[in-house]
Amino acid sequence: MPFGVTGGPSEFGHVTATRMHDLITDNICELFVDDGGSAADSFEEGLGKMLSILKRVRREKLSLSPSKFKAFMTEAVFAGGLVGPNGVSPDPSKLTAVVDWKIPEDASHLEGFLGLTAYFRDLIKGYAQLEKPLRDLLRAVDIPAGTKKQTYQRLMRSHKLASHWKPEHTKTFVDLKARLVAEPVLSAPQYDGTSFIVTTDASKDAFAGVLSQRIKTILPGGKEVNRLHPIAFASKRTSASEERYKPFLLEFAGLKYSLDKFSDIVYGYPVELETDCQALRDTLLSDKLTATHARWRESVLAHNIVGVRHIPGVINIADGVSRQYEGNEKEEGDGSEWSVEPEWESTMGTVYDLYNVSLSDEMTVLRERFKKEPLYLQVLDAIVGVQHGTSVRDKQRAQHRKAGYSIAEGKLWFVGGGTAARARARRECITKEEAVRLAKVEHDEGGHRHRDGIKMDMLDKYHSPKLDESIVKAITDCARCKGFGGTHLHSLLQPITRRHPFELLVGDYLSMPTGKGGYHTIGLYLDTFSQHVWGYMFKTHGSAKTTVKSLNDIFFNFIRKNVECKFLKILSNLQAPC
C-alpha cells in the first residue's frame, strides 16, 4: 500500500474491497474506513466468522496489527461509537476532554465551563436552577460598567475561587459534567445524511474541538424539532513548538487535530466547520503554504467539507474546552509531549498494517546485542523502517538520529565525530558492558592511566552512551589502583585541564646556582594532557630566544618524530600482504 500519498485511504478501500468483498456481502465482517469488525449473537457463530476472516487474511497475504486486534468483546469501539448489547453509544475515549475537566481555579475557567454547558441548556431539564450555585460565583466578580475586553479578562483571571468554593459547588460541577457526557444531551452519530458540525478553537495553551449534529427529536406533544446534540469532545495541550505558532496557524493546527480525532466518525460524510478565526479561511485557500502546512490542508480537505462558517468567539463552544488549561502546568498525558502531525497515517495507526516486516539475520544479531541500549535500538528500527507502536515524538527523534549511523560488516557504526584535529570517519558502536570491558583493558595495558587518557584512546575507535561512566567503573574496579588508597584512586578520576595532546603547553624558567659548564637557568615545559615534561639548560637568562629554541626542539624532535613513526607504521600495515 503506497502510504504517504493522498490516495492512501481510497487505495486501502480498494484493496479490502477486492480481496474481502464476499465476506462483506455475506455479513461476516464490516468495514468502515480503516476499521474492521465482526459481530455475532453466539460464541460459536462469532468464532466461525473470526476464523473465516483470519483464513482470508492469510490467503491474501495481508497482515493485522496485533495492538489493534481484539476478540471476544461484549462491547467494542467501531466506527467512532461504542457498540454492544445496549446498541450504539458514544466512544468514552472521546469524552475525556469533559470528564477530566478539573475544578476551576478562577472565574475565567468557570466562565468557560458554564459557557459550554449553557450552549446545550435546552437539552438539560431545569438547567437554570442546576447551574445557579456556580453562576452565583461569577456574579460575585466586581466588573465595572464599560470595562474593556482585556481588562475584563484580567479581572476574571485574578478572581480566585478557592476561598469561595464549597461542597455544593463541587456537586454542581460534577453533575453538569455528567449531564454533558450522557443522554439525552450526548447522542450517538446519525448516518442519515445529516451534516456533522465540527467547532474548533485554539490558543497558545491548548487545542479543542467539539463534534455535534442536529438530530430530530419528537416532543411529548408530538412536535418534531431539530436540536443540536454533542457527539464527542477533543482537547490537547500545545507542545513546546506549537506554543510558538502564529495565531492563525494555531487555529489551523487545532482544526487538523480535531478532524484527526473525529475522523473515524465523520470521514466520508458531510462536515460543516465552525471557527472564530477569519484568517483560517484565507489559509485554506492560500497557495503559498509550507510543505507541512500544505499537507495539513490536504488532510483537512480530504474530508467531505460542505461549509465553513465564522462564528463570534463568545458563542464558540470549543472556547471553554481550550480555556480550561489556561495558566495551568503541563502534565504527562495531556498531549503536550507530541505535536500535530501532517500525515494521516500517524493518526489512523495504519502505517504498517499491510506490511509484513521481516528482519535479516544481521539485524536480528544487532538487535539482540543492543537490547539493553534504547538509543541504538531506536536507530536500528529507524534504519530498517520498523517504528510501529512508538510515539510520534520518538519516531521523529529516531529519524533525526539515524542520519549519523550506518550498518556495515555486521556492526553498527557512528559516522564521523571527534574534532577537527582528531576527526574520524566512523566509530564502532558498543554497549555499556562492552565499554567497561574495553576500558579496563586500556587501563591495565596503558599503565593504569588517568580517566581522560583512556577516553581519548577509546573515542578514536568506539562510540558508546555514557562512556565516562563506563571508564569510571573500570578504574574503580581495578584492584591494583584500589591498593594505593582512596587518594590515588580519586586523582585518577579527576578531569584534567585538556583532552588532547599538545592542546596546551605550559612552561617556566628556574634560576639555579651556576653549575658545570656554566649553566644556571633551566627551562621546563609541560604538556597538560600527557603530563610529559621537557627540560632545557641555558647559560643565559630565559628570553624569547631561549623559548623559541625549546619549542622548536619539542616540535621537530618529539612531535614530528612521533607523527612520522605512526605514519610509517600505517604504511607498513597497508603494504603488508593479505
SS3 per residue for 169-210: HHHHHHHHHHHHCCCCCCCCCCCCCCCEEEEEEECCCEEEEE
pLDDT the model gives residue 349: 47
Compute the distance between CA of residue 384 and CA of residue 374 in angstroms, rounded to an integer: 16
Domains, the chain, in order of start with CATH, read: 8-72 (no CATH), 96-185 (no CATH), 188-327 (3.30.420.10), 357-415 (no CATH), 430-493 (no CATH), 505-574 (3.30.420.10)
**Peptide bond before 270: cis, by omega within 30 degrees of 0?**
no
What are 414's strand-pairing partners? 405, 427
Pure H helices in 267-409: 278-285, 291-301, 317-323, 345-348, 361-369, 374-384, 392-401
Alpha carbons within 13 angstroms on the beta-carbon side of residue 173 total 22
Pairing label, strands 462-463, 426-429: parallel
Mark the ranges of the chain whose per-residue pLDDT is less than 70. 1-10, 32-34, 78-81, 87-93, 220, 341-359, 386-393, 417-423, 488-499, 559-578
What are 510's strand-pairing partners? 522
Query: Cβ–Cβ contacts within 10 Å for residue 347, how many?
Result: 18
Nearest partner of 115 among 42, 210, 246, 245, judged by Cα: 210
pLDDT the model gives residue 352: 41
Q: The cell 467547532 sits on which residue? A: 199
